[in-house]
């Protein structure tokens, strides 16, 4: 078993007074800016986000669920060479996940080879028997993926989890960049930052690329939302607006002759591609939950008839289940014949007796997660939990071991963050976004999430986290001359 002691966190700005080259410009700005200037920028950003209406919703805490997502004005920076390695690893991983989905709904070669336990896949809640034997348009299952990464050292990046269903957060990535350009035009101009504003156009192109052949040269794309009470509704409307397509709810669509139509003031209009932000089980009351009022009756019939494309494909969730996650490196080797570029975090599967015994004996050192949980819910951060909380979690794990996985408590890297008018290091992760249509494209950077509470490793906005702009430099900065000061 690997060592579970948490090492000191890697500070991406630099250590011992020596600033890493990518942060040299930011370090100079921070050295010159006073507390008042930083606080003024923070307040200006908050006013900007409030005016635009950039919110997310939390429905479990009472009070007004709509709130601003905290935004930190100090960017997180990656050099060109760092990003090139990450990008290659992300493309490799998404290719392997897509191949896995094609396989487990088809010939099941990886299961027959014994590389992944068959029951783990076939009895998984995310596995959709309705998709067995079906090939999505273009053979693409994961049109939009969000791969969560953490960093523990200068060259040490790990994949924390894969998001292959309906990954959220890209609107915050785009709005964060717009805010930085408004707040710090000179600072942004002084850095050659890879642009990300083209993401909506690339998303639309990705979606059109998988349209049915009968759609013609200009397919009709819509964004399907559960409605304004969904926690990510701002993002749904934002992306529809940026792509110049209609934002629709289930009641706006209907199926006739295995073809999907949208109700408009000019009469029914055929729909060719649906970027759906609704979970599988609510998509179609005929195929899944009969009590769903969010989806469209007959949608799966139209999909299987080849009359409409759905992004992401139903059933893609089995690929991002946390109990399947430990096997992704094996997928890379099996389907691609390559060694994984990006490593997994060592993971204990509590359904295995040996792993269960180790987890229960080391709850004070591990992070325990629900295999199908999200948003930071259903999670125990052992080193920060009380004895009572650990005992309660031990009982949960013992009762349903297959529902849980555990990982070492990694020392997530830190980035300088504005806290109470001053600057302090806070832990971060990174969610890059990968688009898969005719080709695979990776947006340079992604959404950096930051744990604003001191010592916290939980970056989710629903758990008190915030976001930062993520800069990928167009070229590697030159290292400081020998003997020169870091800033």
Backbone angles phi, psi at 148, to 5 degrees: -80, 125
Q: What is the DSSP string of 195-237?
A: P-TTHHHHHHHHHHHTS-GGG-SS--EEEE---TTSTTHHHHH
Q: CB burial class (10 A; 0-12, 13-18, 19+) of residue 5?
A: exposed
Locate 190 and state its tokens: 């002084």
Cβ-count burial 319-329 (b if 16+ within 10 Å, e if not): bbbbbbbbbbb
CA nearest to 330, candidates 1, 96, 91: 96
Report the interhelical angle of 199-209 vs 233-243 (nearest 10°). Answer: 80
> Cα–Cα distance between 480 and 25 in angstroms, integer?
12
Going 264 to 269 to 275 to 278, the CA torsion angle's sign is positive
Return the percent helix, strand and coil in the chain, to nearest 5.
Answer: 35, 25, 40
User: Who's near 168: CB < 8 A, 6+ residues apart?
Assistant: 146, 232, 235
CA nearest to 392, candidates 402, 403, 405, 379: 379
User: Who's near 152: CB < 8 A, 6+ residues apart?
Assistant: 7, 9, 10, 158, 410, 411, 412, 413
> Cα–Cα distance between 385 and 374 in angstroms, integer?
19
> Cα–Cα distance between 211 and 310 in angstroms, integer?
9
Locate 129 and state its tokens: 């028997």
**Rg of the Cα trace of the chain?**
23
- Domains of the chain and any CATH numbers: 14-197+320-345+410-472 (no CATH), 213-307 (3.40.50.11290)
Instruction: Write down the pLDDT at residue 55.
Output: 61
User: Who's near 184: CB < 8 A, 6+ residues apart?
Assistant: 41, 73
Q: Going edge to edge, which strands form the sheet with 366-370?
A: 348-349, 404-408, 366-370, 379-381
What letter does residue 20 receive in the DSSP assignment?
P
Hey, how many other C-beta atoms are within 10 angstroms of the C-beta on 381?
A: 17
CA nearest to 314, candidates 467, 132, 49, 438: 132
Locate 95 and state its tokens: 């290719």
Backbone angles phi, psi at 450, to 5 degrees: -125, 135
Cα end-to-end distance, the chain, whole Å: 42
Name the helix (H) or strand (E) containing 156: strand 156-163
What letter does residue 251 receive in the DSSP assignment?
G
Instruction: Write down the pLDDT at residue 21.
Output: 94
The parts of the chain modelled with pLDDT lower than 50 are 1-5, 59-64, 482-487
Task: Answer for the pair 239, 223: CB distance below 8 angstroms, yes or no.
Answer: yes
Locate 346 and state its tokens: 């060592």
Instruction: Write down the pLDDT at residue 105.
Output: 98
Angle made by CA atoms 94, 158, 313, in degrees to the nearest 5:
25
Instruction: Write down the pLDDT at residue 258.
Output: 96
Q: What is the DSSP string of 62-92?
A: SS--EEEPPEEEEEEEE-HHHHHHHHHHHHH
Locate 211 and state its tokens: 């349209």
CA nearest to 175, candidates 243, 247, 90, 234: 234
Task: Answer for the pair 434, 440: CB distance below 8 angstroms, yes or no.
Answer: yes
Residue 76: how many CA atoms within 13 Å on its side-chain side? 33
Locate 70 and state its tokens: 């905290």
């Amino acid at each position: 078993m690997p060592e579970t002691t948490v090492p000191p966190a890697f500070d991406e700005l630099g250590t011992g007074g020596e600033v890493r080259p990518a942060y040299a410009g930011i370090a100079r700005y921070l050295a010159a800016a006073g507390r008042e200037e930083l606080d003024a920028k923070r307040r200006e950003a908050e006013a900007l986000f409030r005016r635009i209406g950039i919110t997310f919703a939390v429905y479990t805490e009472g009070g007004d669920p709509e709130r601003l997502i905290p935004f930190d004005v100090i960017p997180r920076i990656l050099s060109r060479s760092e990003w090139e390695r990450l990008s290659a690893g992300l493309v490799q991983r998404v290719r392997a996940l897509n191949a896995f989905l094609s396989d487990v709904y088809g010939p099941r070669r990886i299961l027959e080879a014994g590389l992944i336990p068959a029951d783990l896949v076939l009895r998984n809640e995310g596995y959709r028997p309705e998709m067995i034997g079906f090939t999505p348009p273009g053979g693409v299952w994961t049109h939009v993926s969000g791969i969560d990464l953490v960093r523990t050292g200068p060259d040490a990046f790990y994949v924390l989890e894969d998001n292959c269903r309906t990954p959220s957060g890209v609107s915050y990535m785009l709005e964060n960049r717009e805010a930085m350009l408004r707040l710090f035009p000179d600072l942004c101009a002084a850095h050659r930052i890879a642009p990300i504003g083209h993401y909506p156009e690339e998303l639309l192109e990705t979606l059109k690329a998988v349209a049915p052949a009968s759609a013609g040269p200009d397919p009709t794309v819509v964004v399907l939302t559960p409605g304004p009470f969904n926690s990510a509704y701002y993002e749904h409307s934002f992306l529809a607006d940026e792509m110049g397509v209609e934002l629709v709810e289930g009641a706006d669509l209907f199926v006739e002759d295995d073809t999907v139509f949208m109700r408009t003031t000019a009469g029914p209009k055929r729909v060719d591609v649906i970027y759906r932000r609704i979970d599988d089980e609510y998509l179609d009351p005929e195929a899944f939950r009969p009590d769903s009022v969010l989806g469209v009756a007959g949608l799966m019939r139209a999909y299987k008839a080849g009359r409409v494309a759905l992004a992401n494909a139903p059933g893609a969730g089995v690929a991002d289940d946390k109990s399947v996650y430990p096997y992704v490196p094996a997928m890379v080797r099996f389907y691609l014949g390559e060694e994984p570029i990006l490593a997994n975090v060592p993971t204990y599967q509590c359904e295995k007796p040996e792993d269960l015994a180790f987890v229960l004996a080391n709850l004070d050192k591990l992070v325990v997660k629900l295999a199908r949980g999200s948003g930071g819910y259903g999670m125990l951060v052992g080193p920060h939990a009380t004895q009572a909380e650990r005992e309660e979690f031990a009982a949960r794990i013992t009762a349903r071991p297959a529902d849980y996985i555990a990982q070492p408590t990694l020392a997530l890297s830190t980035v300088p963050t504005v806290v109470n008018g001053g600057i302090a290091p806070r832990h971060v992760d990174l969610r890059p976004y990968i688009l898969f249509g005719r080709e695979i494209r990776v947006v340079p950077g992604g959404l950096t999430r930051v744990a604003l509470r001191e010592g916290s490793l939980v970056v989710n906005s629903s758990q008190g986290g915030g976001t930062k702009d993520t800069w990928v430099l167009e070229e590697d900065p030159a290292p400081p001359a020998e003997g020169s000061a870091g800033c």
